[in-house]
Structure 1
Amino acid sequence: MTGQSPPAGPRTQPRAGSGRRVLAPLALAQFICSFAGSNMNVMINDISHDLDTTVQGVQVAITIFLLVMAALMIPGGKLTDILGRKRCFLTGLVVYGVGAALSAVSPGLGVLILGNSILEGVGTALLIPPVYILTTLLFSDLTSRARAFGIVMAAGGVGAAAGPLIGGLITSAISWRAAFVFQALVIVLIIVLSVSLDDPLPPDRSRHFDSPGAVLSAAGLVLIVSGILAADNNLWLTAALLAAGALVLVWFLRRVRRQEKAGQEPLLSTGLFRNRTSNLGLITQNAQWLVLMGTSFTVAAFLQVVRGYDAVQTGVIFTAATLGLLASSLAAERLAKQWSQRSLIMAGFALAVAGIGVLIALVAGSSGPWAFAPGLLLIGLGLGVMLTPSVNVVQSAFPEQRQGEISGLSRSVSNLGSSFGTAIAGTILVAGLSKNAYAAAMAVLAVVGLGGLTAAAFLPRTPEPVAGRHR
Structure 2
Amino acid sequence: MDEAAAVPRTRTGTLRRALLPLALAQFICSFAGSNMNVMINDISRDLNTTAHGVQIVITLFLLVMAALMIPGGKLADRYGRKRCFTTGLAVYCAGALLSAFSWGLGALIVGNSLLEGVGTALLIPPVYILTTLLFTQVTSRARAFGVIMAFGGVGAAAGPLIGGLITAFLGWRTAFLFQALVVALIVVLGRRIEDPLPPDASRSFDTGGAVLSAVGLTLVVMGILAADNNGWLTLALLLLGALVLAWFFRHQHARERSGREPLLSTSLFRNRVSNLGLVTQCAQWLMLMGVSFTVAAYLQVVRGYDAIETGVIFTAATLGLLVSSLAAERLVKRRAQRTLIMAGFVVTTAGIVILIALVHVIGSSWAFVPGLLLIGLGLGGMLTPSVNVVQSAFDEAQQGEISGLSRSVSNLGSSLGTAVAGTILVAGLSTGAYAAALLALVVAGFLGLIAAARLPRNRPPQSRAG
Query: How does the TM-score come out when normalised to structure 1?
Result: 0.96
Asked if 1:410 is matched to 2:406, the reply is yes
Provide the secondary structure at the position in 2 that maps to 1:96.
Answer: helix
Asked if 1:313 is matched to 2:309, the reply is yes
The aligned counterpart of 2:194 is: 198
1:371-390 matches, cutoff 5 A: 371-390=367-386
Contact 1:429 1:438 in 2 (8 A): yes
Asked if 1:209 is matched to 2:205, the reply is yes
The aligned counterpart of 1:73 is: 69
Contact 2:73 2:400 in 1 (8 A): yes
The match for 1:220 among 201, 210, 216 is 216
- The C-alpha deviation readout for 1:258-300, integer Å capped at 9, x for no partner, is 1111111110000000000000000000000000000000000
The aligned counterpart of 2:23 is: 27
- The C-alpha deviation readout for 1:64-90, integer Å capped at 9, x for no partner, is 000000000000011111011000000
Letter in 1 for 2:141: R
The aligned counterpart of 2:430 is: 434
Asked if 1:456 is matched to 2:425, the reply is no
Cα distance in structure 2, aligned partners of 1:16 and 1:186: 25
Per the TM alignment, residue 464 of structure 1 is displaced from its structure 2 partner at its CA by 3.9
The aligned counterpart of 2:101 is: 105
Contact 1:14 1:138 in 2 (8 A): no
Cα distance in structure 2, aligned partners of 1:464 and 1:285: 16
The aligned counterpart of 2:177 is: 181
Contact 1:13 1:140 in 2 (8 A): no
Contact 1:74 1:412 in 2 (8 A): yes
The match for 1:279 among 254, 275, 278 is 275
Letter in 2 for 1:110: G
Cα distance in structure 1, aligned partners of 2:306 and 2:253: 52
Asked if 1:162 is matched to 2:158, the reply is yes
Asked if 1:297 is matched to 2:288, the reply is no
The aligned counterpart of 2:140 is: 144
Query: 4+ runs of 1 displaced by more than 3 Å?
Result: 11-16, 463-470
Cα distance in structure 2, aligned partners of 1:144 and 1:436: 47
Per the TM alignment, residue 465 of structure 1 is displaced from its structure 2 partner at its CA by 3.8
The aligned counterpart of 1:52 is: 48
Contact 1:129 1:407 in 2 (8 A): yes
Letter in 2 for 1:286: C
Per the TM alignment, residue 17 of structure 1 is displaced from its structure 2 partner at its CA by 2.6
Cα distance in structure 2, aligned partners of 1:271 and 1:442: 35
Asked if 1:267 is matched to 2:253, the reply is no
Cα distance in structure 2, aligned partners of 1:446 and 1:322: 20
Provide the secondary structure at the position in 2 that maps to 1:173.
Answer: helix
The match for 1:135 among 122, 131, 138 is 131
Asked if 1:354 is matched to 2:350, the reply is yes
- The C-alpha deviation readout for 1:301-351, integer Å capped at 9, x for no partner, is 000000100000000000000011111112221111011100000000010
Cα distance in structure 1, aligned partners of 2:459 and 2:149: 21
Per the TM alignment, residue 467 of structure 1 is displaced from its structure 2 partner at its CA by 6.6
Query: How does the TM-score come out when normalised to structure 2?
Result: 0.97
| Greater RCO structure (CA 8 Å; 6+ sep) | 1
Cα distance in structure 1, aligned partners of 2:342 and 2:86: 36
Cα distance in structure 1, aligned partners of 2:245 and 2:412: 14
Cα distance in structure 1, aligned partners of 2:16 and 2:192: 13
Per the TM alignment, residue 122 of structure 1 is displaced from its structure 2 partner at its CA by 0.0
Cα distance in structure 2, aligned partners of 1:270 and 1:420: 24
| Unaligned runs of at least 5 residues, structure 2 | 1-6
Cα distance in structure 1, aligned partners of 2:419 and 2:113: 14
Letter in 1 for 2:269: F
Contact 2:392 2:464 in 1 (8 A): no
Identity %: 73
Asked if 1:234 is matched to 2:230, the reply is yes
The aligned counterpart of 1:115 is: 111
Cα distance in structure 2, aligned partners of 1:152 and 1:465: 21
- The C-alpha deviation readout for 1:371-409, integer Å capped at 9, x for no partner, is 100100000000000000000000000000100000000
Label 1:157 to 1:469 Cα distance change in 2 as closer, same or farther (>3 A). closer
Cα distance in structure 1, aligned partners of 2:361 and 2:153: 29
The aligned counterpart of 1:248 is: 244
Provide the secondary structure at the position in 2 that maps to 1:195.
Answer: helix
The aligned counterpart of 2:122 is: 126
The aligned counterpart of 1:7 is: none
The aligned counterpart of 1:341 is: 337
Label 1:203 to 1:33 Cα distance change in 2 as closer, same or farther (>3 A). same
Per the TM alignment, residue 15 of structure 1 is displaced from its structure 2 partner at its CA by 4.2
Cα distance in structure 2, aligned partners of 1:162 and 1:219: 31
Q: What is the alpha-carbon root mean square deviation over aligned residues?
A: 1.2
| Unaligned runs of at least 5 residues, structure 1 | 1-10
- The C-alpha deviation readout for 1:19-52, integer Å capped at 9, x for no partner, is 3211110010000000000000000000000000
Provide the secondary structure at the position in 2 that maps to 1:32.
Answer: helix
Provide the secondary structure at the position in 2 that maps to 1:364.
Answer: coil
Per the TM alignment, residue 468 of structure 1 is displaced from its structure 2 partner at its CA by 4.0
The aligned counterpart of 2:395 is: 399
Cα distance in structure 1, aligned partners of 2:418 and 2:56: 9
Asked if 1:171 is matched to 2:173, the reply is no
Contact 2:354 2:371 in 1 (8 A): yes
Provide the secondary structure at the position in 1 that maps to 2:305.
Answer: coil
Letter in 1 for 2:42: D
Cα distance in structure 1, aligned partners of 2:195 and 2:366: 46
Per the TM alignment, residue 141 of structure 1 is displaced from its structure 2 partner at its CA by 2.3
Label 1:424 to 1:446 Cα distance change in 2 as closer, same or farther (>3 A). same
Per the TM alignment, residue 361 of structure 1 is displaced from its structure 2 partner at its CA by 1.0
Label 1:261 to 1:36 Cα distance change in 2 as closer, same or farther (>3 A). same
Contact 1:13 1:139 in 2 (8 A): no
